[in-house]
Amino acid sequence: MDEVRDNREASRFEIVRDGRLSVLQYRRRATDIVLIHTEVPEALRGQGIASLLAHGALTAARAEGLPVVVICPFVRAYLRRHPEMRTESVREERG
């Protein structure tokens, strides 16, 4: 199973598979976390990695009690497919 790692120094959640790095970039602010952009190498697309990153980021924010602002189009789509991950502390904005 792929591990989603929170690389705070680089402001991104990460998964490494087959030596390739996939990321979900974010910005932490004093009162929330903004999910900005998901990037998966072309060779790894279609394997569910972006969904793992979205789930990992939303789960980590929930565990920390951080409200989430979603700018990333992929995470917005993920929330439509997984409404159980949406809470009152998750809101969407256009980037």
pLDDT block averages, 10 residues each, the chain of length 95: 91 96 97 97 96 97 95 97 92 83
Which residue segments constitute the domains of the chain, with CATH numbers given?
5-92 (3.40.630.30)
CB 60, CB 6: distance < 8 Å: yes
pLDDT in tens, 59-79: 999 999 999 999 999 999 999
**CA-CA distances (angstroms) from residue 94 to 10, 40, 73, 77?**
23, 21, 9, 13
Q: What pLDDT, on the 0 to 100 scale, is given for residue 31?
A: 93
pTM exceeds cut of 0.85: yes
pLDDT at site 1: 59
